[in-house]
Structures are given as C-alpha cells and as structure tokens.
C-alpha cells in the first residue's frame, strides 16, 4: 500500500524525528511504499495569503476560500500546494507525526491544512456545499493516524484530567479536519511526558508505534458518525434517538463493542 508521512518538527535530533524514522522503517519492512513531507526541511509556507494566487487579479480583494477553489479547479495552485494534493490523492494512508503544542498542531502543520485543504477539494466537494462531508468527500476510502508527542503527563489528559482528554482536544483535527473530507481516522498514538523521557520509554514508544504501523490497514478507525449514514437526518443535527442523552463531542462517536465510550479508551499510550 501507499503511505504518506507528514512530519513537522524543527529538530532533526528530536523524539519526533526518531519516531518518524522508526515508523518509516516499519512501513518499509511491511512492504509499503512511503513518501514523506518534512515540513520544516521543506521550509513549508505556513501562512495562507494572497501570494498563494499569483495569477489572481490583485486589484480585487482576496476571498481566500473562493480563490482556493478556483485555483484547485483550474489547475493554477502554486507548485507546493499542488504537490501535497497529489501526495494525498496518491496515498492509501496518511501519518501525521508532530508534537502537540498548545493542545493542537504546530503552526507549520496548521498552515499545511489551511493551504492544502482547498475549497471544492476538502470542503464544498463537487460544488455541493455540505452534501459530502464527515465520512464522504474527496479523500474517502483513505485512512490516517496522528502520532504525537505530548510534553505533560498522561494523568493531565485523563477523563477528568485538568487539560481535558487528549482525543477531545484533538477532535477539531481528527473529526473536524480529517474525517470532514472523508478520511477514516485511527485512534491517536500518543507518547506522554516527553519533556522528561528516559531511554527505556523511547524504546517502548518505538515498539508501540511499530505495532501501530504493522496494523495500519487492520485497526478499526474511531467510529465517528457519518453525516450521510442516517444519524443526522437533516445533515446538521443528531436525530433525537441517537446518543439520546448526551451532548457535545462524545455524541459524535459511536460506542465500541463493550459499550464504553470509545474516545477515552481509544487513546494508546506507551504503557500499552
């Protein structure tokens, strides 16, 4: 299979670099083809702005959404964006390797999304508004995995930990960004406590990540409810009988076989 690794860390000696290299090795050993976007090494342009549309009439005010849709449809995207779109369409799976900074993407990776996930490609697909989203869309049939490092201790991210559960903090990414254009999202692979991690824990993390790479096309994705699967009859709101007694993020994740909330137990740490 074909695997696209998107990697964002400024230090080539970092734990993130180690994990990325180890994941790529494991993918090769499993017989997969691998392509890598090393965003820092590529000096990826993070900011979505008028320079993304060199052929646009500069006397008009920039409507970034509209301009991104036109450039995508007309084949006039800048080369760096078009190359990432091509890799996404090539891939069967996408791995994101990054450190969680302020409970989300580093800016360079957020800027990769802001620029690559163009209108009419990642949203407004088929020029049909919100008809195709959350399980349907240009990237349906692919799968993805976030492999992240977290500076703080795991306890802070527990069901009642002070930061909030990691899968809920990452919901704007897993659900709102990746499931939105149709990608199935595997449970996040997280290494906690990386601000002061010892060598044995690094080795344990590498082994755990390798297991996730081996199971990349086998593991069940997070069971986010599909927009067009019947749970949202008007495409906007959950039907009254679906997750009838809950609101907020957990309502959009179907329970797993044991009936326990999936979001919490889905998170794999190095302790597994």
Nearer to a copy of itself, 4 or 117 (CB): 117
Distance CA 104, CA 166 (A): 10
Contacting range for a copy of itself; rule: CB under 8 A; set: 28-36, 87-95, 170-178, 185-193: 170-178
Q: Which of 120, 142, 175, 206 binds a copy of itself (CB under 8 A)?
A: 175
* Beta partners for residue 97, in sequence order: 7, 147
Contacting range for a copy of itself; rule: CB under 8 A; set: 26-34, 74-82, 208-216, 247-255: 247-255
Q: Are the C-beta atoms of 88 and 94 separated by less than 8 Å? A: yes
| Residue 78 touches a copy of itself, criterion: CB under 8 A | no
Contacting range for a copy of itself; rule: CB under 8 A; set: 28-36, 111-119, 183-191, 207-215: 111-119
Beta strands 2-7 and 33-38, pairing class: parallel
Counting Cα atoms < 13 Å in the Cβ hemisphere of 146 gives: 31
Q: Which of 21, 156, 219, 256 binds a copy of itself (CB under 8 A)?
A: 156
Residues shown for the chain:
272
| Residue 162 touches a copy of itself, criterion: CB under 8 A | yes
| Residue 252 touches a copy of itself, criterion: CB under 8 A | yes
Of 184, 166, 66, give the one whose Cα is nearest residue 119: 66
Distance CA 220, CA 138 (A): 21
Of 144, 41, 164, 152, give the one whose Cα is nearest residue 99: 152
* Binding positions for a copy of itself, 191-220, rule CB under 8 A: 195
Report CA-CA distances (Å) from 3 to 16, 68, 103, 134, 201.
Answer: 18, 26, 26, 22, 26
DSSP character at residue 221: P
Nearer to a copy of itself, 196 or 257 (CB): 196
What is the residue whose two structure tokens read 């006397």? 59
Contacting range for a copy of itself; rule: CB under 8 A; set: 18-26, 83-91, 147-155, 184-192: 147-155
Residues that bind a copy of itself (CB under 8 A): 10-14, 40, 44, 46-50, 61-65, 101-108, 110-111, 113-114, 117, 130, 134, 151-153, 155-156, 158-165, 168-169, 171-173, 175-177, 195, 227, 232, 235-238, 243, 247-252, 261, 263-264
């Amino acid at each position: 299979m074909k695997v696209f690794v998107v990697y964002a860390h400024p230090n080539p000696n970092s734990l993130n670099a180690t994990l990325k290299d180890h994941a790529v090795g494991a993918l090769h050993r499993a017989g997969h083809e691998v392509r890598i976007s090393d965003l820092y090494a590529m000096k990826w342009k993070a900011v979505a702005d008028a320079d993304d549309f060199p052929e646009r009439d500069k006397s008009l005010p920039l409507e970034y959404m509209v301009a991104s849709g036109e450039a995508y449809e007309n084949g006039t995207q800048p080369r760096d964006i078009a190359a990432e779109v091509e890799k996404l369409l090539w891939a069967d799976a996408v791995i994101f390797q990054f450190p969680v900074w302020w409970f989300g993407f580093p800016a360079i990776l957020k800027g990769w999304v802001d620029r690559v996930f163009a209108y009419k490609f990642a949203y407004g697909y088929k020029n049909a508004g919100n008809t195709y989203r959350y399980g349907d869309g240009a990237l349906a049939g692919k799968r993805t995995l976030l492999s992240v490092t977290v500076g703080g201790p795991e306890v802070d991210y527990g069901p009642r930990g002070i930061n909030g559960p990691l899968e809920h903090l990452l919901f704007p990414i897993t659900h709102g960004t990746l499931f939105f254009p149709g990608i199935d999202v595997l449970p996040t692979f997280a290494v906690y406590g990386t601000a002061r991690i010892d060598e044995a824990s690094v080795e344990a993390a590498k082994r755990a990540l390798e297991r996730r790479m081996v199971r990349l096309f086998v593991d069940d994705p997070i069971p986010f409810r599909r927009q067009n699967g019947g749970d949202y009859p008007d495409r906007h709101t959950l039907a009254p009988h679906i997750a009838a007694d809950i609101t907020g993020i957990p309502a959009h994740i179907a329970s797993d076989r044991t009936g326990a909330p999936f979001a919490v137990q889905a998170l794999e740490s190095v302790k597994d």
